[in-house]
Chains A and B, each alone.
Chain A
Amino acid sequence: AQSVAQPEDQVNVAEGNPLTVKCTYSVSGNPYLFWYVQYPNRGLQFLLKYITGDNLVKGSYGFEAEFNKSQTSFHLKKPSALVSDSALYFCAVRLLSGNTPLVFGKGTRLSVIA
Chain B
Amino acid sequence: DVKVTQSSRYLVKRTGEKVFLECVQDMDHENMFWYRQDPGLGLRLIYFSYDVKMKEKGDIPEGYSVSREKKERFSLILESASTNQTSMYLCASRAGQGVYEQYFGPGTRLTVT
Q: Say yes or no for B11: interface residue by CB 8 A criterion.
A: no
Q: Say yes or no for B113: interface residue by CB 8 A criterion.
A: no
Query: B30-85: which have CB < 8 Å to A?
Result: 31, 33, 35, 40-45, 48, 50, 58
A104 and B43 contact, Cβ closer than 8 Å, known pairs A43-B106, A43-B107: yes
Q: Do residues A106 and B33 form an inter-chain contact, with CB atoms below 8 A?
A: no
Q: How far is the CB of B70 from chain A (nearest CB, A)?
A: 20
* Interface size of A as a range: 20 to 34
* Interface size of B as a range: 20 to 34
Partner of A90, one of B43, B50, B107: B43
Query: A25-44: which have CB < 8 Å to B?
Result: 32, 34, 36, 41-44
Partner of A32, one of B4, B45, B99, B103: B99
Query: A80-102: which have CB < 8 Å to B?
Result: 90, 98-99, 101-102
> Which residues of A are found within 8 Å of B48, using beta-carbon distances?
101
Q: Do residues B45 and A101 form an inter-chain contact, with CB atoms below 8 A?
A: yes
Bound-state Cα–Cα, A6 to B103, Å:
21
> Which residues of B are found within 8 Å of A46, using beta-carbon distances?
101-103
Bound-state Cα–Cα, A20 to B33, Å:
29
Query: Which chain A residues have a beta carbon within 8 Å of chain B's beta carbons?
Result: 6, 9, 32, 34, 36, 41-46, 49, 51, 90, 98-99, 101-107
